[in-house]
A and B are shown apart, each in its own frame.
Chain A
Amino acid sequence: MTRPSTVSDARRGDPATDPPAPGPGTVRQRGRQPRPGRGGVLAIFLTPALVLFLLLVVAPILVASYASLYKWNGFGLPENFIGLDNYTRAFQDPTFRGDLWRGFVLVLLSLVVQLPAALALAMLLNQPLRGRAAYRLIFFAPYVLSEVTTAVLFDLVFSPNRGLGDAIATWLSADAGTVFADPDTVLYAVFLVVSWKYFGLYMMLFLAARQGIPKELSEAAVTDGASAWQAFRHVTLPLLGPTIRISVFLSVIGTIQLFDMVWVLTRGGPIHSSETMAVTMYEYGFRRFEVGYASAISIVMFLLSLVFALFYQRIVLRRDTAGAITNQGGPR
């Protein structure tokens, strides 16, 4: 009983090195022991994580989905059951529908502008270049700042009349002081700030992935007469696939949950032009005390993220995660 089960498990297949056993019966018995033993180990290692997960992830989801069925101001217990009214209300609310549209625009911009720019920069900084390390450091630095710090920083930069942005823009005879105050430009301004902060992360990911690709491959391609672009397009890019796919995943999930930056920069304004789902949820939950409705919004956010994550994992990331998720931890 005191003998670790894994040891006997390992030795079962190698009778030559087995120490003399009291009898074949007992050995076989021990060989079957591992199952409950392994379950015990699993339970011990899983319990802390599981308790935290249940308490901090599953319980809030359950509470929020329960609250989303009530008209509830957050005080006392929810009593006024209204079924799915909060959900129908959300999908009729122009602000929330706007949130979905703006979320879509932000995702699209991230995929079309932010990630390609990060990729291009990573390829550039993979070339032998003077001061390469310094460039890498500078481009990665914004990622180290917190979202709030970043937002305050850009709030100052684009401060009308006083900010650096305005000073530079005036010099170019343009106007930068109102980018966050104009409903037509605010979303793009927010996107630029988000990109400024996060492109360094993706650049680093791409750079690391690029360095993991053996030089011989592109060298061979070039030897075979491929141009630099062809070598990139047909050798490097496919090999960067896993990293690109995971970056897209992170970018989309991050955009769905975007809150801090928007809240500090614009509070979703002017007139909801930069509002995201998370901002709308906060506005209703913590300003208007409509916790039931805010919960419904949070559940929609959760479901969107979940559905996206599941489909993406199942379909797009299938090859990358093969063995990790699809086969329960081992190539059997």
Chain B
Amino acid sequence: MTTYLSRRTLLGLAGAGAGACLLSACGDDEPSDPNAPQTINWWHIQNTEPMLPVWAALANEYKAAHPNVTLDIQPLENEAFKAKLTTATQAGDPPDLFQSWGGGVLKQQVDAGLVKDITDDVKPWIGGLLPAALEPYTIDGKIYGVPFDIGMVGFWYNKDLFTRAGITAAPTTWTGLLDAVRQLKAAGITPIALAGKDKWPAHYYWSYLAMRVGGVGALQKAVDDKNFDSPDLVAAGDRLKELVDLQPFQKGFLGAAYGTPDGQAAAMGNGGAAMELMGQWAPAVQASSSTSKKGLGDKLGFFPFPTVDGGKGATTEVFGGGNGFAIGKDAPAATADFLKFLLSADNQRKSAQTGAVLPTVREAATAIPDANGKLLAETLASYTGFQLYLDQAYAPALGSQINDSVAELVAGNKSPAQIVKDITQVAKTV
């Protein structure tokens, strides 16, 4: 009997130990002294060429100068990152330095006390950044993240295919765009590549149309009033439906993902579609997912989202956002210093030279290598209004609903008037 008892106690202890470890996530205390040995867990989403090696090289450089710091880098694919970060943040254990788009998602993390207020850490050097870039990371006057990349969404097009269809100038109005689509179709060319499986690429169309029809304030007003059921937003859906009705997308687009070998970016990079509505990273992803790994090169052009006849919005109002990093609540002291290092003018130039990043540090703008990037940066520099991606700007529940609803509109099973009702219903609950 005595052996039984002790064995049971032992098992109980082991169980309790394992349980305690699980519950506390076996947390470790991070030192507050920047010179003590410490490990920075860094999650970024530049998991392909050309930025992947740049981050790795910068990390090595930093480690060489600061032998006490170890960098544990996890490059993750965009969707995988979102899923993994969600699990980590819900467990109250965010990584030390991680990708953030700012906006509503960051705000939710801030409200939950998962992200560090770094206003004081970055104050000495943050003035060198473009103010527009910093906007999404500033919540109630405090800075919770720093962008290393800022850009906008616009149409990327294949110049050769446009020429072949007899289109001489990039469209500047929505009617012009619809005409271009008709011309491309007539020439037997797939006009637009779209990833319907990932819902976010489609929401760019509806958001931009909302901005062009109702002006840049329309979307902000909708979320403030918790009411998306306005004539302007219904009109935006109507315009999008005009495009969808022309059946401009590639075969099987509802099942296509963005970055896979048969996805939206690959269709562009392989010359299989004439244009896509995408952000500043488009050329880099087109190249890496294309069969040749080179993309379109010089054949790729860019034009801003066209205006809508009778709309209140202007071409200079941009929809977009950037990529940045936020610092987790338990991050070691050196994390802020490492972030400063990543954002130095020199290192921003290195990032900009890849063509995959549009620098947020003003000084580094000269390093943008290609004409399209320069054009994009110039458009951005002369912006008169800015709207962050809706699925990042708003609370996740609302952002996801917009993505879902626009997908339903594009698939043709809900009307423009129905989707604004669905979105409003969710807006009222968040």
Contacts and interface: CB of A to CB of B under 8 A. Distances in A.
A44 B4 contact: yes
A283 B86 CA distance: 12
Given A288-B396, A290-B397, A291-B90, A267 B251 contact: no
A287 B7 CA distance: 45
Contact of B407 (A160, A163, A271): A271
Contact of A266 (B114, B197, B396): B197
A146 interface: no
A161 B429 CA distance: 43
Interface stretch (A100-108, A175-183, A193-201, A314-322): A175-183
A181 B252 contact: yes
Nearest to B395: A289
A254 interface: no
B254 interface: yes
Contacts of A40: 1, 4
A74 to B, nearest CB: 4
A229 interface: no
Nearest to B409: A271
A178 B197 CA distance: 12
A269 B196 contact: yes
A51 B11 CA distance: 9
A43 B407 contact: no
Nearest to B89: A75
Interface residues of A, number: 41
A135 interface: no
Given A73-B108, A289-B86, A160 B252 contact: yes
Classify chain B: how many residues form its interface, as a range. 35 or more
B411 A270 contact: yes
B363 interface: no
A159 interface: yes
B8 interface: yes
Nearest to A55: B19
Main secondary structure of the interface of B (DSSP, over half): helix
A13 interface: no
Contacts of B397: 288-290
Contacts of A1: 1
A181 B108 contact: no
Contacts of B4: 40-41, 44
Given A44-B8, A287-B400, A289-B86, A75 B251 contact: no
Interface in B253-305: 253-256, 260-262, 272
A270 to B, nearest CB: 4
B424 interface: no
Nearest to A47: B11
B253 A181 contact: yes
A271 B411 contact: yes
A40 B42 CA distance: 50
A181 B90 CA distance: 33
Contacts of B408: 271
Given A71-B429, A270-B196, 19 more contacts: A51-B12, A55-B15, A55-B22, A74-B90, A75-B112, A75-B114, A155-B260, A160-B255, A161-B262, A162-B261, A162-B262, A181-B196, A181-B253, A181-B254, A186-B255, A270-B197, A286-B83, A288-B400, A289-B86
The 4 closest A-B pairs by CB, nearest first: A75-B112, A181-B255, A160-B252, A270-B254
Interface of A: 1, 37, 40-41, 43-44, 47-48, 51-52, 55, 71, 73-76, 155, 159-163, 177-178, 180-183, 186, 266-267, 269-271, 283, 286-291
